[in-house]
């Protein structure tokens, strides 16, 4: 099923973001519920499996959908997971392909290994930093409901092809 997590990320000594994460593990049965997950989202982290090219194609679909619904107001991170399996030559998505796609679509990109804990915190922090930057540059914007405070809320949705990240 889907899982819901909350966590507070300390961006810098003066800024913390409260993250609400819906992890659907990329399961198609949750696709119809996706608008509920990202309606109020300021950021999304889409995860694909570098050993499964189809998961990369699915990640691209999620990016397109998010851009259609949220435009450029949403910050999107793209994580190519299972980088620990590159040693075993199981890679189906080249890192350059992921990076180029991310660059062309204004995404934050990293390859990660949930198994080894590599770049998992880093990609969350990079996305959160961009949310904080965007919020600070839009402090008068009511669309984000920003109140000058050390804590703000962000929500993320995930398209994780793994069981857990």
What pLDDT is stored for residue 162 in this prediction?
43
Q: 127 exposed, middle or buried (CB, 10 Å; 0-12, 13-18, 19+)?
A: buried
Map out the domains of the chain as residue ranges.
3-159
Residues 128, 11: contact at Cβ < 8 Å?
yes
Taking the C-alpha atoms of residue 10 and residue 159, their distance in angstroms, rounded to an integer, is: 24
Residues of the chain with pLDDT under 70: 1-3, 22-34, 36-37, 138-165
CATH architecture of 3-159: 3-Layer(aba) Sandwich (3.40)
Q: What are the pLDDT digits (tens) for 37-83?
A: 677 788 989 999 999 999 999 999 999 999 998 888 899 999 999 99
Taking the C-alpha atoms of residue 61 and residue 146, their distance in angstroms, rounded to an integer, is: 30
pTM of the model: 0.76
């Amino acid at each position: 099923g889907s899982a819901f997590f909350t966590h507070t990320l300390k961006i810098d000594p003066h800024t913390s973001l409260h993250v609400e994460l819906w992890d659907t593990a990329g399961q198609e049965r949750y696709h119809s519920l996706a608008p509920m997950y990202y309606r109020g989202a300021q950021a999304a982290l889409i995860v694909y499996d570098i050993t499964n090219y189809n998961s990369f194609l699915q990640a691209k679909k999620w990016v397109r959908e998010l851009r259609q619904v949220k435009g450029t107001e949403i910050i999107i991170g793209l994580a190519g997971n299972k980088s620990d399996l590159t040693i075993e030559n199981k890679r189906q998505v080249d890192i350059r392909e992921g990076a180029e796609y991310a660059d062309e679509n204004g995404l934050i990109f990293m390859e990660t290994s949930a198994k080894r804990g590599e770049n998992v915190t880093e990609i969350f922090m990079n996305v959160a930093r961009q949310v904080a930057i965007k919020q600070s540059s839009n402090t008068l914007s009511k669309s984000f409901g920003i109140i000058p405070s050390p804590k703000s809320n962000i929500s993320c949705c995930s398209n994780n092809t793994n069981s857990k990240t």
